[in-house]
Chains A and B, each alone.
Chain A
Amino acid sequence: MLDGFQAITSDILDGGTHQNLDAYRNKFSPFSRINELQEYSKTNALLVDSFYGHIYDDWVIEAKGLYGITGQLPLHFLDDKANMGFLRIPFAQIPRICVCTRLQIEHFVAALKARFADYHILLRGQTKERVLPRDRATRERLYGDSGAIEPSLIASASRHGINVDMILPAWCGFLRFLLDVQASSRLDVRHVDEAREVGDLTERRCAHSGASVLALIT
Chain B
Amino acid sequence: MKPTDFAHYLSAWIWPSAIAEAAKELHENPGSSAEPAKFFILSAVLESGYDAGFDCLANLYLQNFSIPNELLNIARLYQIPSAALDAVGKARFTGETIFAAQGSAPQGSGMAILEVRSTVLELTLLKAPLEALAELVAHLAIFWKQLAQTEGPKAVHHEHSAESPFLAWVDIQVARYYGFELIGRAGMTSDVFKIEYIDRFCNCHGPLPIDIEMLQNLRITAPLVWRERHPLSELYSKLYS
Contact = CB atoms under 8 A, between A and B. Distances in A.
Interface of A: 10, 12-32, 34-35, 37-38, 40, 46, 53, 55, 57, 60, 68, 73-74, 76, 90-94, 116, 154-155, 157-158, 163-174, 176-177, 180, 196, 199, 203-204, 207-212
Given A169-B11, A177-B16, A27 B205 contact: yes
A19 to B, nearest CB: 8
A21 B183 CA distance: 11
A20 B168 contact: yes
A154 B168 CA distance: 17
22 contacts: A13-B185, A18-B169, A23-B237, A25-B189, A27-B205, A34-B215, A35-B210, A37-B209, A40-B209, A92-B202, A165-B166, A172-B13, A173-B12, A173-B15, A173-B68, A173-B75, A199-B15, A203-B132, A208-B162, A210-B167, A211-B163, A212-B163
B1 to A, nearest CB: 8
A167 B14 CA distance: 14
Contacts, number: 196
Interface of B: 1, 5, 8-9, 11-17, 68, 70-71, 74-75, 77, 132, 135-136, 157-160, 162-169, 171-172, 176, 182-190, 194-195, 199-205, 208-212, 214-215, 218-219, 222-223, 228, 237, 239-240
Nearest to B211: A35
B215 A203 contact: no
Contacts of A34: 208-210, 215
A162 B241 CA distance: 38
Most buried by A among B132, B194, B209: B209
Chain B interface mostly: mixed
Contacts of B218: 30
Contact of B202 (A29, A166, A209): A29
B205 A16 contact: no
A196 B15 CA distance: 9
A24 B187 contact: yes
Given A169-B68, A207-B12, A55 B164 contact: no
A163 B164 contact: yes
Contacts of A116: 228
